[in-house]
Amino acid sequence: MSLIEVEGLSLFYGNFQALKDITLGIEERRITALIGPSGCGKSTFLRCLNRMNDLIEGVRLTGRVTIDGEDINRPETDLLRLRKKVGMVFQRANPFPLSVQDNVIFGLRVHGLTDREMVDKRLRRSLESVWLWDELKDKLRVNALELSGEQQQRLCIARLVALEPEVLLMDEPCSALDPLATERIEQLMFELKERYTIVIVTHNMHQAARVSEAAGYFLMGELVEFGETGQVFSSPRDRRTEDYITGRYG
């Protein structure tokens, strides 16, 4: 069984059906990329994995999403716990207007971890895991908004990592970054997948081909194709995938 199992998932914004009967399994400690044109439902799908769509009014959902065998859409699900376990990185880095240190330990405080020694350990380990410790160990009290865009994005990842999640959801994490910064985030992803399951939504097909092991192509709310990245990008089974990835779409 996959770490994340999605069965017959459909999502409606009022009368509009944004996701149509999606079924797939996301394997543990791998990078899974979701690609597709704007408005195809890939980000909506990503948000289903930690119930971020709950924040949108008028959303209705059918089907099942289980993580570690647990149906995350049951009413008794503890959302704070779910989002600790399944963290999300957004298109634009969104550090809090606080110091580097406070950004990283913010979540720990929310979850009631106050032991000084433990907090310091997590702070260092989280910054180390995104290669920020050496860069920022003497600037822990600097306001996070003073960092470069790419450092801010890595800091946001460190903020999630501090909570020891299982899954990292990344919604176009590099779209605001230059090629060198993108390269660093991608290299970081390779390292992070040793410990976490990563699901990334990207508009950049070459990024999907570079970083992921499994890939899914969404079109108008439908999961047209899902498979091993090598297969999807060398011999896609569906003509629509072929047209999109070779630039014949539209």
Nearest approach in angstroms of CB 240 to another protein is: 11
Instruction: State the minimum distance, in angstroms, from the CB of residue 237 to another protein.
Output: 9
CB of 171 to another protein, least distance (A): 23
**245 in contact with another protein (CB under 8 A):** yes
234 binds another protein per the rule CB under 8 A = yes
DSSP assignment of 157-211:
HHHHHTT--SEEEEESTTTTS-HHHHHHHHHHHHHHTTTSEEEEE-S-HHHHHHH
Query: How many residues belong to the site for another protein (CB under 8 A)?
Result: 15
Q: How far apart are CA 61 and CA 45, in angstroms?
A: 11
- Rg (the chain; Cα; Å): 18
Helices then strands, counting H and E runs in the chain, come out as 10, 10
Among 23, 62, 94, 235, binds another protein (CB under 8 A): 235
The nearest distance, CB 114 to another protein, in angstroms, is 50
What residues numbered 151-210 form the site for another protein, per CB under 8 A?
205-206, 209
Check residue 233 for interaction with another protein (CB under 8 A).
yes
What is the contact surface with another protein in residues (CB under 8 A)?
Answer: 205-206, 209, 233-236, 241-242, 245-250
